[in-house]
Amino acid sequence: MSRATRFAVPLVAIVFFLSFAILSKAETPDAKHDAKHGVRQSTQAASDTPTDPSKMTPRQLIELKDDILMARKEYTQAIDGYSKILADEPKNAAIMNKMGVAYQQLDDLVHAERFYKKAMHADKRFASPLNNYGTVEYSKKRYGKAIDAYKKALNLTPDSATVFGNLGYAYFANKEYPEAMNSFQRALALDPTIFDRRGQGGTVVQQRTTPDPGLFYFFVAKTYAQAGDAERAAHYLKLARDDGYAEFLSAQTDPAFAKVIKDPGVQEVLHQAPSYASSTKKQIQN
More confident residue, 26 or 88: 88
Give the pLDDT band (50/70/90) at residue 199. Answer: low
Predicted confidence (pLDDT) per residue in 136-181, tens digit: 999 999 999 999 999 999 999 999 999 999 999 999 999 999 999 9
Length of the chain: 286
- Amino acid 270: pLDDT: 95
Q: Is pLDDT of 21 > 70?
A: no
Mean pLDDT calculated for residue range 23-38: 40
Query: pLDDT at residue 106 above 70?
Result: yes
Residue 276's pLDDT is 64
- Give pLDDT, residue 160: 96
Domain ranges of the chain: 3-157, 213-285
C-alpha radius of gyration, the chain, whole number: 22
- Averaged pLDDT score across all residues of the chain: 84
Enter the pTM of the model: 0.81
pLDDT at 29 over 70: no
**What percent of the chain shows pLDDT beyond 70?**
77
CATH of domain 3-157: 1.25.40.10
**DSSP calls for the chain:** --HHHH----HHHHHHHHHHHHHHHHH-THHHHHHHHT--S-TT-GGGS-SSGGG--HHHHHHHHHHHHHHTT-HHHHHHHHHHHHHH-TT-HHHHHHHHHHHHHTT-HHHHHHHHHHHHHH-TT-HHHHHHHHHHHHHTT-HHHHHHHHHHHHHH-TT-HHHHHHHHHHHHHTT-HHHHHHHHHHHHHH-TTTTTS---SSSS------S-HHHHHHHHHHHHHHTT-HHHHHHHHHHHHHTT-TTGGGGGT-GGGTTTTT-HHHHHHHHS--HHHHHHHHHHH-
Question: What pLDDT does residue 31 have?
Answer: 46
Q: Which of 165-169, 192-196, 216-220, 248-252 has the lowest mean pLDDT?
A: 192-196
Q: Is 250's pLDDT higher than 80?
A: yes
Residue 183 predicted with pLDDT over 70 = yes
Three-state helix/strand/coil letters over 222-285: HHHHHCCCHHHHHHHHHHHHHCCCCCHHHHHCCHHHCCCCCCHHHHHHHHCCCHHHHHHHHHHH
> Quick one: pLDDT at residue 49?
64
Q: Identify the band that residue 198 occupies on the pLDDT scale cut at 50, 70 and 90.
A: low
Residue percentage of the chain with pLDDT more than 90 = 72
**Between residues 66 and 53, which one has the greater pLDDT?**
66
